[in-house]
Structure 1
């Protein structure tokens, strides 16, 4: 097994500082570590250089910065040409990384959602009408702008087309070239807890911890995963995160599913425990 992490831009033979602790923990567990050039991965004419320092062969897990699905697929292909097979294939990455890929499978346990394939006002209005009146949260296929909550994320009333489009316009302005797919409108649901990030390997929950945005908010002693477990297992995805929050009626709801390779680890989870959960107990 191989762990792939982004290289430090200033010291390209070393892991990026953000992932250095995970790399150290992997080596301590007897796992090979190689670095990849994340910036080169984002440029089509430099992707071969991005993986040039990857050595060895076998199955690999990437732990790094977020990649667009159309960039992850050639990354996986280039590694395969070197004898390194990412545990998560290109199609699997897209299904986990983009909401339209997983929503239908988890519709019963996540807020009702609709999405567009374009970002024009007419596309937005069609989605707005489809979801129906009431409050909603706006995002694209991979990310919201929740840190700009009232400006670019929360829409108090979808039946108000002018105010709703003002939020959407601000969202487009902030996301710019980073926008993925189109608009996603999700019915707003009130929660009583901070988000809890759960980590799943081959459909089995291996870790429950805080969300990286609120690392000091410890999850409740009991997080009820009974409803979500068979649904996540049925997705057939090798490594994902599922963020959950407790709704005001006492029901745990899925806020987000993401590919585990590009999901941030909260500081409250020790790197060694994380590697043990991801790869198994140290040898």
Structure 2
């Protein structure tokens, strides 16, 4: 399996500095590494983005910067024209990358959520009323603005319609062209700041460690990913990350699920991650393609 990594924008024959270690580790293990011009994807030139990928390379896995589902689809098509197929299909990527894709399967272990399908107030209000009064955390289908907690993330009480919309409007302003899908309202839960990021291949947890935002911090309470294996496996996704945090009552909660290709990894865990990916078998990954959701 070939590993695709972003090229350095200034030195396109070298991997981006952030992924240079992963490139070196993969090459040491005999993996073919090819570089993708990530900057060409947002501009709509996927063909240029994959010019450095050898033709006929077979199955490939991307490890790089965040992509929208549309950009990932364009990347997949451009690679397919070179007889290179991504292990994670386009709809599988979307199901992992966008909350409406994974939430129904994990609703038992993650905060209760409602969402809209656009950035209008009518849809936002429908989601707000469906969730009911009380505090909530706002995001869109792919991302929150947690660094703007009081102005664009936390809604103290959904019953206050105008105050809630003010937070949503600020969120929309900050997300700008990156806004994806619609608004997501998640019931607020008191969670410990230190999170555990787990890595799953074919429904099996292969790695667990600190979240890259706090690479030296881990909860004191031991975490057992096997308790969630059946739920994660039910998603039938090839390569995902799942972030967990401890709620104030001592219960582990899923904070986020994401496609593993665009999930960052703390430096200390990169050797183990690349080793796991090298051993990733593509022969048994025949998962169904999830149906699009409304």
Asked if the contact 1:2–1:59 (Cα under 8 Å) also holds between the matched residues in 2, the reply is: yes
Asked if the contact 1:4–1:61 (Cα under 8 Å) also holds between the matched residues in 2, the reply is: yes
Give 1:219 deviation, angstroms: 4.6
Q: Match of 2:256, SS?
A: strand
Q: In structure 1, how many angstroms separate the alpha carbons of the residues matched to 2:136 and 2:221?
A: 30
**Correspondence 1:100 to 2:100:** yes
Q: In structure 1, how many angstroms separate the alpha carbons of the residues matched to 2:70 and 2:193?
A: 35
Q: In structure 1, how many angstroms separate the alpha carbons of the residues matched to 2:99 and 2:192?
A: 23
Q: In structure 1, how many angstroms separate the alpha carbons of the residues matched to 2:116 and 2:223?
A: 33
Distance 1:279 1:221, change over 3 A: farther
Aligned residues: 279
Structure 2: where are the runs of 5+ without partners? 281-294
Give 1:141 deviation, angstroms: 0.3
Partner of 1:43: 43
Give 1:226 deviation, angstroms: 4.0
Q: In structure 2, how many angstroms separate the alpha carbons of the residues matched to 1:205 and 1:188?
A: 27
Asked if the contact 1:136–1:188 (Cα under 8 Å) also holds between the matched residues in 2, the reply is: yes
Q: In structure 2, how many angstroms separate the alpha carbons of the residues matched to 1:22 and 1:134?
A: 44
Could you report, residue by residue, the CA deviation over 1:18-51 in whole angstroms, capped at 9, with x for unpaired residues? 111111111011111000111112233x211110
Could you report, residue by residue, the CA deviation over 1:67-92 in whole angstroms, capped at 9, with x for unpaired residues? 11011112112212212111101010
Give 1:279 deviation, angstroms: 1.9
Give 1:221 deviation, angstroms: 6.5
Partner of 1:250: 250
**Correspondence 1:191 to 2:195:** no
Q: In structure 2, how many angstroms separate the alpha carbons of the residues matched to 1:255 and 1:116?
A: 19
Indicate the larger mover: 18-27 or 35-44.
35-44
Asked if the contact 2:157–2:164 (Cα under 8 Å) also holds between the matched residues in 1, the reply is: yes
Give 1:192 deviation, angstroms: 3.0
Give 1:268 deviation, angstroms: 3.4
TM-score, normalised to structure 2, is: 0.92
Q: How does 1:1-283 map to 2 (within 5 A)?
A: 1-44=1-44, 46-55=45-54, 57-220=57-220, 222-269=222-269, 271-280=270-279
Structure 1: where are the runs of 5+ without partners? none
Root-mean-square deviation (CA, aligned residues, Å) is 1.4
Indicate the larger mover: 93-102 or 162-171.
162-171
Q: Match of 1:133, SS?
A: coil
Q: In structure 1, how many angstroms separate the alpha carbons of the residues matched to 2:145 and 2:31?
A: 36
Asked if the contact 2:195–2:218 (Cα under 8 Å) also holds between the matched residues in 1, the reply is: no
Q: In structure 2, how many angstroms separate the alpha carbons of the residues matched to 1:197 and 1:138?
A: 21
Asked if the contact 2:97–2:258 (Cα under 8 Å) also holds between the matched residues in 1, the reply is: yes
Q: Match of 2:26, SS?
A: helix
Asked if the contact 2:200–2:206 (Cα under 8 Å) also holds between the matched residues in 1, the reply is: yes
TM-score, normalised to structure 1, is: 0.95
